[in-house]
Structure 1
Amino acid sequence: MSNLTGQGLANYAEGKKGTPYFYGSKMKVLTEDFMKSMHAAYPSVVTVAYMALARTKKQVGKINVDCSGLISAYTLHALGSAQLYSQAYARLPISTWKQWAVGVVVWRSGHVGVYLGNGKVAEAKGINYGVVITDIEKGSWKYGLTFSWIDYTITTPVASNVITYKIANPYTEPTRTLKKGCTGQDVKWLQYELVEAGYTLTIDGDFGSKTNKALLAFQKSAKLEQDGKCGPATRKALKAS
């Protein structure tokens, strides 16, 4: 049995209501140096105005968190939203939410939260909100995610024929650094992993513009350098569990 439980994750997330939000924060004290590093890495997200707002809201010097950080602080699995989708043992369609166990991770592209039961979700919603409790039916969520390393208390199982389960990548992992213009079976490995991370691609072995766009989005979600190259660090993040 795991020491991690769905109820434990839900209790943890709900208990963090009111915690300020800052992009990239993982339940850590926000500092000026951290803000500057995030600005340098993600200038289109952590803008000068974004940092100024955090200062105005007196978030510097306080514990801050982002959406995936609300989950990783409890699980100690440092996974971004795309990685959580990729590494989920099972993906439950949002239409089945009334059958979900407490502690299921709710997901839509670029954002995650925690199902608390009774139609409620705890989510680190953004810098204007912080950690809030919201209605699941108002969140544009797409899936509920469960993980093999979390124990859940299930009262009404979701029908297995509507669940998507994780399967092994059938393609050979690259040994070279992949970038736009590359072709081959190892590109199919990358494309398969990106599809598993929630991005829409054709697995054709051709590293074109769509594959590049998906890779950049994944690197951003995983807090990697956004260089459009699939080298050892990006492969490790794609395989992270």
Structure 2
Amino acid sequence: MSKIYNKDSFLEELSSNLGRPMPTNVDKPTYEHRPQDELYSELSQDDLVEKLKLQCENIHTTYYETTKAELPTALKDAIEEYGGGSILVSKDDRFEDNNLNGVLDDYDTFVWDYMNAEESHNRAIDANIGINFSEYTLAESGTVVLFNDQHKGRSVSLLPRTYIAIVPKSTIVPRFTQAAREIRKQGMDISSCVNLITGPSNSADIEMKLIVGVHGPIKASYIVVNDI
């Protein structure tokens, strides 16, 4: 378990520079209204799936829905839609658990290897498709939440030209409020890097015109797997 070092000395110095004593026994505020908890709370899991599906249209993301048994076929269809070629995946037991290795073996697939960082990075740059599993997916915004660590490099979802996220239905939540609550339960065991990705790369900073593919994948697909 991770440990926070020098917290008290840091806070004491910060308080000193602000010219006030360091607070003690700070109580967590109690809010009369918590709209973040109430929004979409009435939606069932099937309703959340439908909301995610509609949101995928807004974020220019191709949506697939399948069962665990048919996931290999759905993944192959998505790969073929993007032209196959070189593929980069996270080192994740869920690929084997969902019988996906047979599909990936048909392509030039490289598994992220932190012990070989240079080759992993180069393969990410050259890859046509990056594939990983979403830990949580936000129905409200169509955002996948990824836990990145030594086995699940950020480059898998950021550098390839196209991106595929495999989304277990059971992990779809209304919005980040619920995802943050689940992440908090994991305490200090959580990944050091949590990425939130909403469809393909895009920016509207220039003259308010939407430009896709500025700093990441040009196209993205979500494959929702009914695991309930």
**Shared fold by TM > 0.5?**
no
TM-score by length of 1: 0.26
TM-score by length of 2: 0.27
Higher strand share: 2
Which has the higher Rg, Structure 1 or Structure 2? 2
